[in-house]
Structure 1
Amino acid sequence: MRISQKLQDEIRAHAERDHPAEACGVLIKTAKGREYVPCGNLATTPREHFQIDHRDMAQAEDRGEVLAIIHSHPDKAPTPSMADRVSCELHELPWGIVGWPGGDIEWFAPTGFSAPLLGRDFSHGLLDCWSACRDWYGREAGLQLPNFERADLWWEQKDGPSLYEDNFKSTGFYQVSEPRRGDMLVLQIPKPGRECYFPNHAVIYLGDEPALLSESAPVLGGSGPFIYHHMPGRLASREIYGWSMANRVKLILRHKDYKP
């Protein structure tokens, strides 16, 4: 996308002001021309992620047509991450990334990208355990499951919602006592030294057949059963379903429309 030097300077100045956090904003089209609108970053980890303040976004949309989403990569190149590419597809808008320091700006647009099941990067709310389960059901079983807005560390909010327990019935799941391939297991995994009030991690039980229909990749060694899941700070993977995982299971859920 070609933009004026003035707009480029405004984007770079915003990245410099917010450094070392990620700056974010939008490019809009008004009656007077294109404008860059800086927005607040509501992410709980603003040095690593961004979440545009919905109030700032609403004000920008009231002023004009949103043409592009902009954010910075502090102390990194402006190369789009896997999460950036997935989010770009969801917004259906071009994205611009500015690397700061340096000020290089890279643009990219939706191309139909979808993250692979195996080896995907972790980004809570976008590429996380629920996203992995949703995509597994979509690609392996043709089931389209809804998404849920979820704040980071929602399971540490004692008076907050228990997202898996509150929503599994309305999503088409019911509880069973023993797992079979394609069931979703919901575990409670606290961070060391922190409270965890609700089951907070979902995995797909693969049984003794770890192969994925939609992706051909080497199968892990060892004997099953296996699970497919995505843990924070790690790439999505298949692993042996061992005692440490089984001991944390709170729900064994089967979807009414899944046929192994």
Structure 2
Amino acid sequence: MSLAFAFDDGLTTRWSAAVDAHKRHAHAEWPREAGGLILEDGSYAPLRNIAGEPLTEFETDPAEVEAVSGHRYLAVLHSHCSVEDPATGKVTPPPDCPSGADMEAQIATAVPWGISLCLSTGCADPFWFGDQVPRPPLLGRQFRHGVNDCYSLGRDWHREVAGILIPDFVRDPDWWQPREGQPQLDLYRDGFERAGFRRVERGPEGPLPGDCFLCRVRSPVLNHGGIYIGGGLILHHLAHQLSGRDPAAVWRSKLDFLVRHTDLPDDWRPPA
């Protein structure tokens, strides 16, 4: 039986008029990315895309943002566009998750961001991301990199279950894959201490509730993690799957090492 469910964060409904206006704007601008602001009165204010690569990037002019909104706005919307070849009929779907640049800009503005996926035939309702957006339950989440992935599940578990806030990290899809001419990224290994975690060693009795495992899944570097929640179970979220619980023993052979947040004492146990 599937644990999948339809989670509605409510933002598209709340700002339905602005979302509809944005979708018309984005469709008119396709195949260039387009976007704008949801203003305090709930209306949509389109903005020019001044990015050097407007087919794949979205960038605004700060002076225009100031003129339109006085830097007071409720949310940001922009589109990701398909690439379509009329000669062959080939359609490359738009990226269905935020880029690292999208995540960085969202964190800087500290308001919800929505991304609508646009084809030549029209634009879909946006998906929303950012810490200001209501979060789905921990179990049964649909995967979307940078929005609902293994790291975001770990952040949400620590906040909801342990009362600990850990920072987000900007990350592109498939950031762990080697890229020619660029240094190899190793975000988990380089970032766990900055996020407040320490490496721990456990004996034959195994991990303690709240210990987090880090491992590699078809990757040269650590690119997956989860939480031991007790009872022989881990909570994690693999790509293209729903978030869920698995037997810890299944993942023991894949484990690189365990970490634990420094604010979580070893004698901590989840609330009943």
Please state which band the TM-score falls in when normalised by the shorter chain: 0.5 to 0.7
Q: Paired residue for 1:25? A: 35
Give 1:182 deviation, angstroms: 0.9
Give 1:37 deviation, angstroms: 2.7
CA distance in 2, matches of 1:12, 1:121: 26
Q: Paired residue for 1:145? A: 166
Q: Paired residue for 1:172? A: 196
Q: Paired residue for 2:111? A: 92
Tell me, yes or no, if the aligned pair for 1:96 and 1:105 is still in contact at 8 Å: no
What count of residue pairs does the alignment treat as equivalent? 213
TM-score scaled by structure 1?
0.64
Give 1:106 deviation, angstroms: 5.5
Give 1:6 deviation, angstroms: 9.4
Q: Paired residue for 1:254? A: 260
CA distance in 1, matches of 2:128, 2:228: 35
Q: 2:153 aligns with which of 129, 132, 157?
A: 132
Q: Paired residue for 1:159? A: 183
Aligned CA-pair RMSD = 4.2
| Residues 60/234 of structure 1: CA separation in 2 closer, same or farther (3 Å cut) | farther
Q: Paired residue for 1:70? A: 78
Q: 1:117 aligns with which of 120, 124, 138?
A: 138
Aligned letter for 1:237? Answer: G
Tell me, yes or no, if the aligned pair for 1:121 and 1:235 is still in contact at 8 Å: yes
Q: Where in structure 1 are there 5+ consecutive unaligned residues? A: 75-80, 191-195, 209-224
TM-score scaled by structure 2?
0.61
Give 1:125 deviation, angstroms: 1.6
Are residues 1:235 and 2:242 paired? yes
Give 1:128 deviation, angstroms: 0.9
| Residues 107/171 of structure 1: CA separation in 2 closer, same or farther (3 Å cut) | closer
Tell me, yes or no, if the aligned pair for 1:203 and 1:229 is still in contact at 8 Å: yes
Give 1:227 deviation, angstroms: 0.5
Tell me, yes or no, if the aligned pair for 1:184 and 1:202 is still in contact at 8 Å: yes
Q: Paired residue for 2:212? A: 184
Give 1:59 deviation, angstroms: 7.1
Aligned letter for 1:206? Answer: I
| Residues 56/232 of structure 1: CA separation in 2 closer, same or farther (3 Å cut) | same
Give 1:25 deviation, angstroms: 1.9
Deviations 1:54-112 (A, max 9, x none): x44657536643754133687xxxxxx999xxx99985358585765664776899996
Q: 1:11 aligns with which of 11, 26, 35?
A: 26
CA distance in 2, matches of 1:36, 1:236: 36
Deviations 1:9-40 (A, max 9, x none): 5432224x35xxxx4422488xxx94443476
Helix, strand or coil at the partner of 1:156: coil
Aligned letter for 1:132? Answer: L
Tell me, yes or no, if the aligned pair for 1:122 and 1:128 is still in contact at 8 Å: yes
Tell me, yes or no, if the aligned pair for 1:187 and 1:201 is still in contact at 8 Å: yes
Helix, strand or coil at the partner of 1:242: helix
Tell me, yes or no, if the aligned pair for 1:154 and 1:161 is still in contact at 8 Å: yes
| Residues 207/160 of structure 1: CA separation in 2 closer, same or farther (3 Å cut) | same
